[in-house]
């Protein structure tokens, strides 16, 4: 997909290729890579490098059943094609997380809605629906947050993020994302720690909304 200007950093692509990312962050990376030719190529390069390193390691026997399932998956053109399919605004990895069904939105207030796709001690990943012109309360981060735009766009102190773009936020960033006027901004957001809200009401509601 063209027009993407904010990409996944190499260190996260390498961790994803090595299978070392949490489920929440892996979903955002998979969704972005399914839409971004540049990051898909970079991921392929990291995977090829990892494969070359594995070639230099002592061989380990695996069962014939495991090898058979692996080769069947690699040879299946439908499975390969579906990795990059989209259903409306949702990339195939997100549709898989949704179980093939539309999101079941829950209100957060002021028209903002969310659907939590996964939540455990390692982090959470959710869909966010932000009406055009509406903002998310000013907040900082106690860890890492990846936010990928699926529809519409938002702006904050660091710039503009449109469809396919990923914002990488850490403890150094405090921002107030605001959806552009027009269609609602729908995002896929993953975190590995709670957010730091400046105002009292969002802090009060954090345990309920698990953000």
Report the pLDDT value the prediction gives residue 194, as an integer from 0 to 100.
73
Is 3 a member of any domain? Answer: no
Report the pLDDT value the prediction gives residue 88, as an integer from 0 to 100.
85
Report the pLDDT value the prediction gives residue 135, as an integer from 0 to 100.
87
Report the pLDDT value the prediction gives residue 192, as an integer from 0 to 100.
85
Report the pLDDT value the prediction gives residue 74, as an integer from 0 to 100.
44
What's the CA gap between 46 and 17, in Å, rounded?
7
Same domain for 86 and 15: yes
Report the pLDDT value the prediction gives residue 207, as an integer from 0 to 100.
52
Same domain for 137 and 51: no
Report the pLDDT value the prediction gives residue 15, as an integer from 0 to 100.
96
Q: How many domains does the chain have?
A: 2
| pTM over the 0.75 mark | yes
How far is residue 124 from each of residues 31, 54, 89, 194, measured CA to CA in Å? 15, 31, 21, 9
Same domain for 115 and 75: no
Last residue of a domain, one of 75, 97, 119: 97
**Tens-of-pLDDT digits for all 211 residues of the chain?**
668 999 999 999 999 999 999 999 999 999 999 999 999 999 999 998 755 544 555 655 655 655 455 455 444 443 333 344 566 899 999 999 999 999 999 998 889 999 999 999 888 999 999 999 998 877 777 889 999 999 999 999 899 999 999 999 987 888 889 999 999 999 999 998 776 566 644 544 445 555 6
What's the CA gap between 169 and 100, in Å, rounded?
29
What's the CA gap between 141 and 170, in Å, rounded?
6
Strand 166-169 and strand 145-151: the pairing is antiparallel
Same domain for 110 and 36: no
The CA-based angle 5-178-192, given to 5 degrees, is 70
Last residue of a domain, one of 37, 62, 97: 97
Residue 32, beta-bridge partner list: none
Is 117 a member of any domain? Answer: yes
CATH number of domain containing 172: 2.60.120.10
CA-CA-CA-CA dihedral for 39, 190, 148, 206, to nearest 10:
-170
Q: 184 near 151, Cβ under 8 Å?
A: yes
Smallest Cα–Cα separation from 184: which of 106, 121, 131, 108? 131
Report the pLDDT value the prediction gives residue 210, as an integer from 0 to 100.
57
Domain with 173, as residue range(s), is: 106-209
- Cβ atoms < 10 Å from Cβ of 144: 18
Same domain for 114 and 204: yes
């Amino acid at each position: 997909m063209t027009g993407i200007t904010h990409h996944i950093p190499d260190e996260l692509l390498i961790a994803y290729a090595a299978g070392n990312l949490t489920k929440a962050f892996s979903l955002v990376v998979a969704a972005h890579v399914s839409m971004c030719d540049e990051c898909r190529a970079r991921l392929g390069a990291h995977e090829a490098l990892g494969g070359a390193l594995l070639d230099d390691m002592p061989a380990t026997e695996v069962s014939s059943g495991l090898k058979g399932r692996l080769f069947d998956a690699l040879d299946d053109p439908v499975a390969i094609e579906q990795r990059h399919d989209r259903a409306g605004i949702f990339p195939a990895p997100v549709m898989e997380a949704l179980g093939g069904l539309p999101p079941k939105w829950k209100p957060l207030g002021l028209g903002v809605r969310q659907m939590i796709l996964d939540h455990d001690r390692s982090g959470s990943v959710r869909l966010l629906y932000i009406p055009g012109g509406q903002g998310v309360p000013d907040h900082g981060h106690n860890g890492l947050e990846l936010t990928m735009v699926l529809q519409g766009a938002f702006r904050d102190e660091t710039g503009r993020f449109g469809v396919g773009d990923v914002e990488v936020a850490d403890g150094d960033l405090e921002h107030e994302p605001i959806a552009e006027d027009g269609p609602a901004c729908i995002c896929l957001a993953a975190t590995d720690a709670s957010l730091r809200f400046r105002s009292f009401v969002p802090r009060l509601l954090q345990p309920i909304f698990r953000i």
